[in-house]
Amino acid sequence: SITTQPKFRMNIGNQCCVFLSIFLCISICLGEDYDLDDKTGLGRSFDGIGGLSGGGATSRLLVNYAEPYRSQILDYLFKPTFGASLQILKVEIGGDAQTTDGTEPSHMHYEDDENYFRGYEWWLMKEAKKRNPNITLIGLPWAFPGWVGNGENWPYSFPDITASYVVSWILGAKQYHDLDIDYVGIWNERSFNSKYIKLLRYTLDKSGLERVKIIASDNLWEPISSVVIADKELQDAVEILGVHYPGTNTVPEALKTGKKLWSSEDYSTFNDNVGGGCWARILNQNYVNGKMTATISWNLVSSYYEDLPFERDGLMTAKEPWSGNYVVESPIWITAHTTQFTEPGWTYLQTVGHFTHGGSYVALTDERGNLTIITETMTHDHSVCIRPPLPSYDVTAQNVTFHLKGTFASISELQVWHSKRLHFILRCPWSFSIELDVDEVYTFTTVRNGQRGSYPDPPPSAPFPKSYKDDFDVSGNPYFSEAPNFADQTGVFEYFTNQTDPGPHVSTLRQVVTQRPVTWVADADQTISVIGDYQWQDLMVSCDIYMESVHTGGVFIAVRVNKGGGVVRSTRGVFLWVYADGTYKVTNDLNGMTVLAEGMSGTRARVWYTLTLTVKGNYASADLDGYPLWKNAVLWEPRHGWAAMGTSSFELAQFDNFAIEALA
């Protein structure tokens, strides 16, 4: 008999997931046969499925959600047997630099500076641990504050400085947040550095962090695989060989090392149903093809402005804290096919592989009688990932029969989770048959506690408010060191309490990065933080500003800012600049090459001023402390974009009483 349990129905786009019970009995089996057997031994140990917050600033808007929506999103990500039930959380060790969609603040802006309450990654790790105490935590630096490079745009010229910097973050996680970091990654797109890896291992051990393991090179299979084989000291230092976007394949040298192999960054694909198909295919085939025992999605949650690079490349979408709207996307439930019915420490069977007519299957056991089988039949066009290119292949509907052998022969009942729709199941002695259509995922399991977590629908989607104000009162945002909804693109803007001059500007937002960071992205020469609705056209922005650099100070406010992320240095818009030398200018670009107007402002450092910039149609005008600086500067492009503020270089400056009025 077949018993359906419709209360477990799960939406995946226009698809659904249903649990039902299969009672195995005697019958005649037809179709292709596949054995699931442990009598000849087992495969590699499963290490988990995870998500990546960072690389960069991809969870930026999540912390600004009001309750209960913020906790609901976190439950869909981390709560066991509820949604994605993630088993790994990897976060960026902030480096004050642009690393894809924004900057994340460092715990050490300067050599003599330490603060372990900046940014949102501490908060996120604690929320993940609250829901799943067994979740694996990983930290990886994508970039570093400028002082770490000691004048060079390279973090490994002074490996002792870099190692101490990274280890201080791990120690701070424990001391200030009671977080035990399990792994630390080493990444740089140019190469890996053997000397640094060994020194990092030594520094970890000397600091009492022997349990913290190293993932390297957290980029490519080679040359590290070959070097690990030849270098015993390096082999002892590295626990995991991690790779980014492997296309489900490994290389012979990596297998020869005997190390655990992880896809330590993968997916990076728009989270519609094709993205769900990509994720389903690689979760199975990373092991079937490449013997990778963990896969980590970049990114965890698409919680950054949609018009920044790689929009919606997350397991779910949460980009509107002002409305409370979020969307539980297809990849959340695809993840659940594995994570709700396995745990790290389970073991893959050796008898896993590809179906004759396309698709793949894996099977895992806890070696205590439990068995979980996951099948996928994703067609090429339904499972293309953003990278690498996917060769052509065919998948057709097929009937398959699984024969349970070895210790599994005594299993009499399996739960089934189906991603699409139900098919007839033919029951056989110690085996079962299933007709697999294309673009389906099934989980067959002895684990009975899987479920679909659900909450009432969140509020409807809504654009950013047309009228918006922030006086940067630090007491109003206890979780995060940066103001709600601002997305720092170069530099770091964080709350600052003026204890020496407790006047009307006692609590401000301060740009704190004073040296170009060590980074793989070409950060702009200016610092900039964006906010608002990318579709805004006619807008009035005002802000109180305070330049701290006496001779070289300069700040701006801007509208119609049309680029962010790694290409922010080429952004255009309308930028109103004032300088400590008493001048102003209006430019059509961030780097100040296209000047629309300029003149004398009388501004100087260490004095508060109020700037107002208004753009309507093809005309722009500005006021300084209520007095016109100029009127009707003519501009043609861009036609829309974010509001922004920033500084003319890496310098200290303060901002207060920021306000926006959208005029159209």
Rounded to 5°, the CA angle 614-646-594 comes to: 65
- The pair of three-digit structure tokens given for residue 255, joined into one six-digit string: 């297998």
- The span from the CA of 566 to the CA of 154, in Å, is 18
Name the pairing type of β-strands 371-376 and 360-365.
antiparallel
Could you tell me which residues are beta bridge partners of residue 313? none
Q: What is the 3-state secondary structure (H, E, C) of 299-361?
A: CCCECCCCCCCCCCCCCCEEEECCCCEEECCHHHHHHHHHHCCCCECEEEECCCEECCCCCEE
Asked whether the beta carbons of 521 and 55 are under 8 A apart, the reply is no
Asked whether the beta carbons of 578 and 658 are under 8 A apart, the reply is no
| In the block, residue with structure tokens 């408010």 | 465
Collapse the DSSP code of 570 into the 3-class scheme (helix H, G, I; strand E, B; otherwise coil) and give the result.
Answer: helix
- The span from the CA of 131 to the CA of 318, in Å, is 19
| In the block, residue with structure tokens 């005594």 | 410
Rg (CA), the chain: 27
- The pair of three-digit structure tokens given for residue 496, joined into one six-digit string: 């600052």
C-alpha pair distances (Å), 315 with each of 155, 302, 551: 31, 7, 47
Residues 6+ apart with CB under 8 A from 527: 488, 490, 491, 492, 493, 511, 513, 646, 647, 649, 650, 651
Cα distance between the two ends of the chain:
63
Bin 241: left if φ > 0, else alpha if -120 < ψ < 50, else beta: beta
The one catalytic residue in 92, 239, 265, 482 is 265
CA-closest candidate to residue 294, choices 244, 365, 349, 228: 244
- The span from the CA of 218 to the CA of 242, in Å, is 4
Neighbour-count burial of 112, counting CB atoms closer than 10 A to its CB (0-12 exposed, 13-18 middle, 19+ buried): exposed
Collapse the DSSP code of 368 into the 3-class scheme (helix H, G, I; strand E, B; otherwise coil) and give the result.
Answer: coil
The yes-or-no answer on residue 265 being catalytic is yes
Residues 6+ apart with CB under 8 A from 268: 245, 297, 298, 299, 310, 313, 385, 386, 387
* Element (DSSP H or E) covering residue 487: strand 487-490
Could you tell me which residues are beta bridge partners of residue 528? 490, 646
273-288 and 330-339 helices, crossing angle to 10°: 30
| In the block, residue with structure tokens 């420490």 | 345
The yes-or-no answer on residue 189 being catalytic is yes
The one catalytic residue in 32, 189, 413, 637 is 189
Q: Which residues carry out catalysis?
A: 189, 265
